[in-house]
Amino acid sequence: MPVRQVIFVLAVSAMLLAVVVELVRRRRLREEYAWLWLLAAVAAPAAVIGFPLLRKLTPLIGVDEPVSILWLTSLVFLVVVNIHYSTKISQLTEQIKNLAQALALATPKGTGSSTAQFPRAADALEGDLFPRGRGDQDVREG
């Protein structure tokens, strides 16, 4: 692998690692999701360092170019990321449905509104999912 490509991959990996760490530090990316991107930042230099081994494995797998294996690995990584996010979205959708049903059951009949009894729930229903006033940092600000 040419030296320019190695330097480029190492630089991009270092930048990705720095961005992920900074996003976690600023609480804009949860640790729960950071492992995926940390894995990507570590896997790229590993692929560059292990490229000679990849050349030796290429004929065994039946591929003409080692880069094809890298593309396949990248595609599998993106599929895993999509499946992970899809399961998280499904869980959150179920939680939102359960919360809305619980709020509807807890609302006194005839009032038509739960804002007086459940002010935080009213904020969530009006679209303000991160209202101020709990003492923690507002997530929307960077």
Higher pLDDT, 107 or 59: 59
DSSP letter at 131?
A: -
What is the total residue count of the chain? 142
Please report which confidence band the pLDDT of residue 49 belongs to, taking 50, 70 and 90 as the band edges.
Answer: confident
pLDDT mean over 17-30? 93
Give the pTM.
0.62
* Contact of 125 with 107, CB cutoff 8 Å: no
What count of other Cβ atoms lies within 10 Å of the Cβ of residue 47?
19
Confidence of residue 134 (pLDDT cuts 50, 70, 90): very low
Q: How far is CA 86 from the centre of its chain?
A: 11
